[in-house]
A = this chain, B = another copy of it.
Amino acid sequence: MKVALAQLNFHIGNFHSNREKIIAHIRKAKHAGARLVVFSELSVCGYHPYDLLEREEFLEWTNESIEIIGKECIGIAAIIGAPTINKSQKGKKLYNSALFIEDGKIKQVIHKTLLPTYDIFDEYRHFEPNNNFSLVEFMGKKLAITICEDLWDDQPTNNSFGRNKLYSKTPLEELSRLKPNLIINIAASPFAYDQEGKRKEILTRNARKYNLPLIYVNQVGAQTELIFDGGSMCINQKGEVEHELAYFSEDFRIIDIEAQNEKNLQPVFSEIGKIHDALILGIKDYFGKMGFSRATLGLSGGIDSAVVAVLAARALGPENVRVLLMPSKFSSEHSVEDAEILARNLGIKHELIEIQPMVDAFEKGLANSFEGLSPDITEENIQARTRGVLLMAISNKFGNILLNTTNKSECAVGYGTLYGDMNGGLSVLGDVYKTDVYRLARFINIQSEIIPENSITKPPSAELKPGQKDTDSLPDYHILDQILFRYIELNQAPVEIINQGFNEDIVKRTARMVNSNEYKRFQAPPILRISSKAFGFGRRMPLVARYEG
């Protein structure tokens, strides 16, 4: 039996476009002789619609789409993902479902059993968990259809004080009692560079454990912060990946589940290469799905804005990126030069506006209020905010969305000016530690020097006062990032980090900076997520806490 894997990029709430895509691929699959075509989780409406799921019209449009798609399923069956109504009058009003459509009708509806409620996930907010297990019979085969987390029954709780097995049910255990011939998993599993191996491990382990072939169809494309990487797979009953679809782009493949095919896998790819591609997809889809095509950003001559400019040019085309160079009296000569070289290398439009006249105007306006007081961080922030105003003016006038260039290290310790360099519609590097920004720059320059070497090698500086260096206020990034990774991604207590040999003062100061800057991050732009613990929706910390941990 030929099965088509349709790994597509859906747009939340864009029922028309999602439906057209699904229908086109049903036809394509049918034309190629497939008997079944599989789409990803919540494919009809896009994953995840959050509270749009509480709205009547959203459900009406979902059902309308399902009906139209259903009519296409003649001579071919399809598995699509959609929310469906829980008719029992008890529990959450919706299920997160896989619809098996055959002969133009919904033949069977399978609901998701394991609903993640950690990190970025809140599925129990909207969905009732499944409690009944059945197979779908099709062409003499029995299909065990599952949805994403349903295979992650081993998931542990994320506590630094001891782990529990999060779920008490094992959907495949229940389904295997009914003697299926094939496992199908439809998913919306976002990319995290530090979790990639885990996904493949879980899928292959399940195939092996139940001695069944497994078809896995994942969503691809970014939805604001979340970047879905695709990488759909077909795994044989020995747990070997036989087919692997593309990462970070749409893909479609027809496989014969009975045939012994040559393996058809994706080329092995470096971690930093994946992060690079993930960020480009993240930018591209944010713009595309918001209906914008052009970006702007401030180019300081430093490494962060250089990397963002490259990624933006690659995502949107250099003709769609317009940058501002905004030197102050504290900017080094090199800064402007480095920024200009980069802009020329990329072929992006760049303009230079000196900020001193506006800064002077602010300082003059504030002179009475500030009489007798020495300059401090206030005056540094005025510079950063003046740049923010200029960039937003370009954004407003030309419709270029401002890209934020703050990296994760800065975002963590609050090294940045709210309403200044923290501005932007999207934070490109907010989940990339400074040391990884260096790796990205090296990756970008691997074939030729796109980013001037000087931007990479010079000591990082905000250039807001004479001779300023980041290390005046912060630990060295290679130390800081190690501490931050342990504190944020690994959720380790300061004492645990100190016990690993890190300097006690630095660890405590770092933890204090992270905790006292929740208020800044609260107003940060959405951050493209590439790790298992990004700032934003997946890390929810109270603002008013007094917390010395």
Taking beta carbons and an 8 Å cutoff, which residues of A are in contact with B?
Answer: 11-14, 17, 46, 48-60, 85-86, 88-94, 117-118, 122, 124-125, 157-168, 222-224, 285-286, 289-291, 351, 353-355, 357-358, 360-362, 364-366, 368-370, 373, 376-378, 381-382, 385-386, 388-390, 392-394, 396-397, 418-419, 423, 425, 491-496, 519, 522-526, 539-547, 549
- Residues of chain B with a CB closer than 8 A to A425's CB: 519
The answer to whether A351 and B365 touch across the interface, beta carbons within 8 angstroms, is no
Given A14-B546, A362-B389, A376-B396: 16 more A-B contacts, CB < 8 Å: A11-B544, A12-B544, A51-B539, A55-B160, A58-B549, A93-B164, A122-B540, A223-B542, A224-B543, A351-B368, A353-B365, A353-B369, A365-B390, A369-B394, A381-B393, A389-B419
Asked if B50 and A86 sit within 8 Å, CB to CB, the answer is no
**Please, how many angstroms separate the alpha-carbon atoms of A192 and B493 in the complex?**
36
Distance between A251 CB and nearest chain B CB, rounded to angstroms:
21
Enumerate chain B residues within 8 angstroms of A362, measured Cβ to Cβ.
358, 389-390, 393
A545 B392 Cβ-Cβ under 8 A: no
Interfacial chain B residues near A386, Cβ < 8 Å: 389
> Shortest beta-carbon distance, A405 to chain B, in Å?
15
Q: List 30 A-B contacts (CB under 8 A).
A: A12-B547, A13-B542, A13-B546, A13-B549, A14-B545, A52-B547, A54-B160, A56-B492, A57-B494, A57-B495, A58-B547, A91-B166, A92-B164, A92-B166, A93-B157, A93-B163, A93-B164, A118-B125, A122-B125, A223-B544, A285-B544, A358-B362, A362-B389, A362-B393, A366-B397, A373-B397, A386-B389, A389-B389, A389-B419, A419-B423
A386 CB, min distance to chain B CBs, angstroms: 7
A381 near B366 with CB under 8 A, answer: no
A382 to B385, alpha carbons, bound, how many Å? 12
Chain B residues with CB under 8 Å of A365's CB are 353-355, 357-358, 390
Q: How far is the CA of A386 from the CA of B425 in the complex (A)?
A: 19
Complex contacts, A50 vs chain B, CB 8 Å: 540-542
Question: In the complex, what's the smallest C-beta–C-beta distance from A452 to chain B, in angstroms?
Answer: 24
Selected contact of A544 from candidates B160, B290, B376, B493, CB within 8 Å = B290
Closest Cβ of chain B to A156, distance in Å, is 9
A55 to B525, CA, bound (A): 26
Looking at the assembled complex, report how far the CB atom of A388 sits from the nearest CB atom of chain B, in whole angstroms. 6
Whether the Cβ atoms of A57 and B224 lie closer than 8 Å is no
